[in-house]
Structure 1
Amino acid sequence: MKLTILGGGGFRVPLVYGALLGDRGEGRVTEVVLHDLDAGRLTAVSRVLAEQAAAVEDAPVVTATTDLDEALRGADFIFSAIRVGGLEGRADDERVALAEGVLGQETVGAGGIAYGLRTVPVAVDIAQRVARLAPDAWVINFTNPAGLVTEAMSRHLGDRVIGICDSPVGLGRRIARVLGANPREAWIDYVGLNHLGWVRGLRVAGRDELPRLLADSELLGSFEEGKLFGVDWLQSLGAIPNEYLHYYYFNREAVRAYQQAEKTRGAFLHDQQARFYDEVGAPGAKALDVWDRTRAEREATYMSENRETAGAGERDVDDLSGGYEKVALALMRAIARDERTTLILNVRNQSTLSVLDNDAVIEVPCLVDANGAHPVTVAPLPDHATGLVCAVKGVEREVLAAAESGSRATAVKAFALHPLVDSVNVARRLVEGYREVHPGLAYLR
């Protein structure tokens, strides 16, 4: 099979290739095409992949190109992992928002909206090209904001585009681990939108073990989410939120921590990855060693401001191993080989959550087979979660409308309606601020 990776010069691509190297099954990926607009980044990542494959017999052949149409033709699977505006754009998203006293995180609040407004037009163009050049391909979307971008692409590709995220997988794994259960044998009742979901149950052998966790304060406070949100708050919710909900539940503290940080997350990653690409390009550099060292630093500092605010301490070693590449590989296997499995994915709602229409992309457990991903029927969300999900989905729809129409007024509406933006006047200034720093938003008039 041929796999095309869009954003193939990205730092996390070796995670995907490493997962592919471990797959020896029939119908595995034998050809990987990396596409990126930056030829230098493609060269650097290709060096890392070559070192990964050096000791692996019959490793997937890797080629690289800056020609998008060439990359798409003949693909069986397409991973979309682009970053429109690069990490400099992410840093600008954070800076403009924080100057207005609101959150600039890349998927949540003002920063997520700005990133979405830049990314949706590009993602739509990609979807239209896929429909024309590789109509039988399956698109697996890694690009953030994952739910929003997946929904934009689904308007052209239908259910042949599926969004993935490693956050629900990591959360379910941590809960199972602290309960002494095997994550592979647990059913995770997870419902919401991307970066906006809750684990409401974890069933092992037909029994829901989550109430046992919620009733045990010591056990509940022993893992990442217990430290991040606090035992009392989790017991009040009666559920375990995705870590990104910390930005909503503790917004004031998160904004203050980001304002006081020496560097925003985007600025940190921009500088870190610039060093990585420079080092890998040096003569005689051991590319894989440089990548491993950089990744360890990246993972250890993930959401560090939030953990500092909550007094959560350092991340556990078991949470530093990534995960989204494993979800992607399991998804490909299930579709290509009809290896039926259950995964938490971003897919069209159909009739899963009655408060949303059929085309709204949600994040829920899905049964996956050769015909794609099928969302599992779930119980309704409680009122507080329903309100938040509906509000954020409404904002996503305004982002899609602004990207399609080019309407500045609609973009302002998207910002103003977000729960983490507290004033219409702030929304107006955000739109102007982002238009000044992002040439890709010049289409908003």
Structure 2
Amino acid sequence: MTKSSLKLAIIGGGSSYTPELIEGVLKRLDHLPVKEIHFVDIEAGQNKLEIIVDLARRMVEKVGADITLKASLDRRAAIKEADFVMTQFRVGGLQARASDERIPLKYDVIGQETTGPGGFAKALRTIPVILDICNDIEELAPNAWMLNFTNPAGLVTEAVQKYTKVKTIGLCNVPVSMEMMIAEMMGCSPDKLTLECAGLNHLLWAHRAWLDGKDVTAEVLGKVGDGANFSMTNIFEEPWDPVFLKALGAIPCPYHRYFYQTDAMLAEEKGSAERDGTRAEQVMATERELFELYQDTSLDQKPEQLEQRGGAYYSDASLNLVDAIYNDLNTIHVVNVRNNGTIAGLPDDAVIECSAVVGNWGARPLAVGHLSPAVSGLVHQVKAYEQLTVEAAVHGDYDQAFMALANNPLVPDIKRAKAILDDILKANHDYLPQFSH
């Protein structure tokens, strides 16, 4: 890519995360010639969008950068001739997320934004919208890269890969956060570490950790089992059993707590929902505070309070990817890509999350081969759930939706799967026209 100026389109520009993205762009101006950023949102988000773009202008003016900022509700204008389209939206807003979290809890099932039935509901709402956005990209910016941050990132990326021609890479801040936390435990800088990552989005293991060429996997597992910080702002830090970690032999991501320590996580979720509200309800309060801060006309940088929102390293994950593609760096990033034989035994068209070399041709995953039996069963089960969910979302197919939940490891039996599905369809009626038949 030899273009001397770049246009970024930010879909969901009114997100409270956007200032972090702007900060990331401004940090990289010497090697990423971003000249235009077009933020776009929907009507309901117009007020937030205006607040965000005003703050972004102050941030850009502070450093004297030559970047044109635009904000509108016109998605097609934002996408037209963009080089990178970044998707970071939430269909139904935090209100819909709160319902995703509360419905499963009614049935003693994990209620969480991206795993289990909560992630399923979010995928049903999101996939038709992302495919619609892809139609615009195919028509108005056929050479653009779509970097998808919208959760559940693996499922959404799989739908795009299967049903569109858009060049896309899915990404998540979990792998970067894992790297940062492991570097902290080992007392080294992150660039000294190499993690061999493979799995699915929010179901990722670092199968090997290397520090200066030495395998330190067992040492890291020892530290995690000994209580070293290894969680995200949005996930309760239930301690890991050191005996389990040693037997597992791979470093689990923080989201694995939902699968490996389901009872403890469910009890914590139920207690927290009663006491302080679900995670979404808590985030609503954080969001209100953030947007009040953002309106302060003297604020011209990303406020520290944004860290509490749970999206640490979000801009690093996305802009390092833009950098690798634009500057053809051939550096290793953990991304969501088509499997194509990378993990043996999974379908070629399944989207996996793994270490990949990224250059101007996109992401080439590093071959993994067969996963250890300690992890492969869970990967196959969650992937079956994901494949069924994608089909259910695209075709509005009740049977596939039912089978998706019946196959999800966090849903204990079909009676609950059916009750949860019916509640989700009822609660999301306005967002799921594909199921109206």
TM-score with structure 1 length normalisation? 0.89
Alpha carbons of structure 1 residues 178 and 26: separation in structure 2 relative to 1, 3 Å? closer
SS of residue paired to 1:243: coil
Contact kept? 2:344, 2:368, Cα under 8 Å: no
Aligned-partner Cα distance in 1 for 2:434–2:87: 23
Aligned-partner Cα distance in 2 for 1:123–1:145: 12
Q: 1:267: which partner in 2?
A: 281
Q: 1:323: which partner in 2?
A: 313
Q: 1:302: which partner in 2?
A: none
Q: 2:362: which partner in 1?
A: 372
Contact kept? 1:17, 1:49, Cα under 8 Å: yes
Aligned-partner Cα distance in 2 for 1:80–1:298: 18
SS of residue paired to 1:358: coil
The match for 2:403 among 406, 413, 416 is: 413
Q: 1:433: which partner in 2?
A: 423
Report how far residue 404 of structure 1 moved: 2.1
Q: Which amino acid in 2 is paired with 1:110?
A: P
Find out whether 1:237 has 2:248 as its counterpart.
yes
Q: 2:80: which partner in 1?
A: 73
Q: 1:222: which partner in 2?
A: 228
The match for 1:181 among 185, 188, 200 is: 188
SS of residue paired to 1:82: coil
Report how far residue 159 of structure 1 moved: 7.2
Alpha carbons of structure 1 residues 217 and 411: separation in structure 2 relative to 1, 3 Å? closer
Aligned-partner Cα distance in 1 for 2:408–2:164: 28
Report how far residue 157 of structure 1 moved: 4.3
SS of residue paired to 1:139: strand
Find out whether 1:246 has 2:257 as its counterpart.
yes
Find out whether 1:2 has 2:7 as its counterpart.
yes
Aligned-partner Cα distance in 1 for 2:305–2:193: 33
Find out whether 1:443 has 2:426 as its counterpart.
no
Report how far residue 239 of structure 1 moved: 1.6
SS of residue paired to 1:364: strand
Q: Which amino acid in 2 is paired with 1:228?
A: P
SS of residue paired to 1:228: coil
Q: 2:325: which partner in 1?
A: 335
Q: 1:22: which partner in 2?
A: 27
The match for 1:348 among 308, 313, 338 is: 338
Aligned-partner Cα distance in 1 for 2:386–2:225: 36
The match for 2:103 among 88, 96, 106 is: 96
Aligned-partner Cα distance in 2 for 1:217–1:68: 47
Alpha carbons of structure 1 residues 51 and 354: separation in structure 2 relative to 1, 3 Å? same
> Cα deviation per residue 1:29-79 (whole Å; 9 max; x = unaligned)?
111100100211110111221232232022422110101111110100000
Q: 1:111: which partner in 2?
A: 118
Q: Which runs of 5+ in 1 are unaligned?
A: 300-320
> Cα deviation per residue 1:91-125 (whole Å; 9 max; x = unaligned)?
01111111111112111001000111111111111
Q: Which amino acid in 1 is paired with 2:229?
A: F
SS of residue paired to 1:254: helix
SS of residue paired to 1:345: strand
Contact kept? 2:131, 2:164, Cα under 8 Å: no
Contact kept? 2:157, 2:336, Cα under 8 Å: yes
Aligned-partner Cα distance in 2 for 1:352–1:109: 25
Report how far residue 384 of structure 1 moved: 3.1
Aligned-partner Cα distance in 2 for 1:117–1:27: 35
Q: 2:176: which partner in 1?
A: 169
Find out whether 1:133 has 2:140 as its counterpart.
yes
SS of residue paired to 1:170: helix
The match for 2:380 among 390, 395, 406 is: 390
Report how far residue 90 of structure 1 moved: 0.2
Find out whether 1:210 has 2:197 as its counterpart.
no
Aligned-partner Cα distance in 2 for 1:10–1:77: 18
Q: Which runs of 5+ in 2 are unaligned?
A: 1-5, 232-236
Q: 1:401: which partner in 2?
A: 391
Aligned-partner Cα distance in 2 for 1:251–1:331: 33
Find out whether 1:12 has 2:2 as its counterpart.
no
Alpha carbons of structure 1 residues 406 and 156: separation in structure 2 relative to 1, 3 Å? closer
Alpha carbons of structure 1 residues 189 and 279: separation in structure 2 relative to 1, 3 Å? closer
Q: 2:3: which partner in 1?
A: none
Q: 1:422: which partner in 2?
A: 412
Q: Which amino acid in 2 is paired with 1:187?
A: T
Query: Which deviates more, 24-33 or 366-375?
Result: 24-33
Contact kept? 2:201, 2:353, Cα under 8 Å: yes
Q: Which amino acid in 1 is paired with 2:199?
A: G
Find out whether 1:277 has 2:282 as its counterpart.
no
Aligned-partner Cα distance in 1 for 2:182–2:370: 22
Q: Which amino acid in 1 is paired with 2:41?
A: D
Q: 1:310: which partner in 2?
A: none
Aligned-partner Cα distance in 2 for 1:342–1:61: 31
Q: Which amino acid in 2 is paired with 1:277?
A: F
> Cα deviation per residue 1:278-322 (whole Å; 9 max; x = unaligned)?
5645xx654557x625424434xxxxxxxxxxxxxxxxxxxxx82
Report how far residue 166 of structure 1 moved: 1.3
Query: Which deviates more, 435-444 or 8-17?
Result: 435-444
TM-score with structure 2 length normalisation? 0.91
Aligned-partner Cα distance in 2 for 1:338–1:280: 35
Aligned-partner Cα distance in 1 for 2:109–2:225: 34
Report how far residue 224 of structure 1 moved: 2.1
